[in-house]
Structure 1
Amino acid sequence: MFKINDFVINAKNGICQIKDEVELALTGEAKLYYLVVPVKDVNGKIYIPVDNASDRIRRVMTKKKANSVIDSITDIEELVIDNEKQRENIYKSVISACDPESLIAIIKHLVKRSREREAEGKKRTVLDERYCKLAQDSVYAELAFATGKDILSLADDLNQRIESSC
């Protein structure tokens, strides 16, 4: 159960704050919803049913957890994709799960894949570029928020750690 003013992560909207609990009859019968506001869009409003909120949001990681994730970046295994036809579905699944370690694993995979394509004289695919950016934006924003660090300098540090471990 979440409380008003908790900061949470939503796959589509990133870091959000729970502003209120409201009763609405959106589907006919009245249900309790969290009113969630994205940090990056204070005018945005998202209503999430209280009874299945944990399927759509999770708490922002603690500073201790964030530092642990940062320190373990070199130990996180890259994502392995055996079936090329499932590539985009796997990317979508990882992004929507919003798990920091899995997001780093996908970034590592995409960095390595980009290097391999470059070695073959090929460019990075639009698909790979899009999902790499989504994964980076998601995990870097949460790590910066949780640690209180500037996102740009943290992103530089994380990119160096990832590059050196691929």
Structure 2
Amino acid sequence: MFSIGDTVFYGAHGICSIEDIQEQKFGGEAQSYYILRSHHSTSLTLYHPVNAVNSKLKKLMTKEKAEAVLQCFENAADSWNDRTTTRHQSYQSIIKSAGHLEIAQMTNTLLRKKLELEAIDKKLPAQDTQILQSVTAILYEELATTLQTTASDISDKVDEIIQMN
């Protein structure tokens, strides 16, 4: 169970702070909900049942895990699937898994493909660009929070790692 003031990771919403715990009634019986404030979109208030069976709320990654995630960017890109639909289904599955290392490797692949295409004056397909932007915003924010830096610094560090490898 989390407490008021805790900072948590909440699936696709990224980093959130627990502002309150209140009884709410959303279409059924009243139950306790965490009242969450998104760090990514501060005007967004989220409600999550305290006793949810398959809770999407997770503790922030540890410093050791954050360093392991950054090391993923030293890896070669995964093989590129030219079938857009298959590639995006795979990416959605990775995102839903909320596995930091898997998401980092997917991001690594997308960033390396983007650089490869830019080198020949081409662009990453729009759907891939959209996935890359949404995933990096959330991943870099969690890394920055854990490592006590900024998302911009994380972005610079990732770019540096990729350029060196």
Number of aligned positions between the proteins: 164
Offset at 1:17?
0.7
Map 1:39-54 onto structure 2 (within 5 A). 39-52=39-52
For structure 1, the 5+ residue unaligned runs are none
Contact 1:98–1:138 (Cα < 8 Å) also in 2: no
Offset at 1:156?
0.6
Cα deviation code 1:38-80 (max 9, x no counterpart): 12444421110122275322111123332343245425x6445
Q: Report the counterpart of residue 140 of structure 2 in structure 1.
A: 140
Contact 2:112–2:162 (Cα < 8 Å) also in 1: no
> Residues 37 and 121 of structure 1: is their aligned pair in 2 closer, same or farther, counting only changes over 3 Å?
closer
| TM score, norm. by length of structure 1 | 0.81
State the distance in 2 between where 1:72 and 1:124 align. 21
2:60 maps to 1:64 = no
Q: Report the counterpart of residue 130 of structure 1 in structure 2.
A: 130
Q: Report the counterpart of residue 19 of structure 1 in structure 2.
A: 19
What secondary structure, in the 3-state scheme, does the structure 2 residue paired with 1:51 have?
Answer: coil
What secondary structure, in the 3-state scheme, does the structure 1 residue paired with 2:74 have?
Answer: helix
What secondary structure, in the 3-state scheme, does the structure 2 residue paired with 1:12 have?
Answer: helix
What secondary structure, in the 3-state scheme, does the structure 2 residue paired with 1:52 have?
Answer: coil
> What is the RMSD computed on CA atoms of the aligned residues?
2.5
Q: Report the counterpart of residue 29 of structure 1 in structure 2.
A: 29
For structure 2, the 5+ residue unaligned runs are none
Q: Percent identity among equivalent residues?
A: 26
State the distance in 1 between where 2:57 and 2:69 align. 19
Q: Report the counterpart of residue 162 of structure 2 in structure 1.
A: 162
State the distance in 1 between where 2:80 and 2:55 align. 25
Contact 1:7–1:17 (Cα < 8 Å) also in 2: yes
2:124 maps to 1:88 = no
State the distance in 1 between where 2:120 and 2:55 align. 41
State the distance in 2 between where 1:53 and 1:17 align. 20
2:101 maps to 1:101 = yes
> Residues 163 and 127 of structure 1: is their aligned pair in 2 closer, same or farther, counting only changes over 3 Å?
farther
Tell me the amino acid that sits aligned with residue 28 of structure 1: G
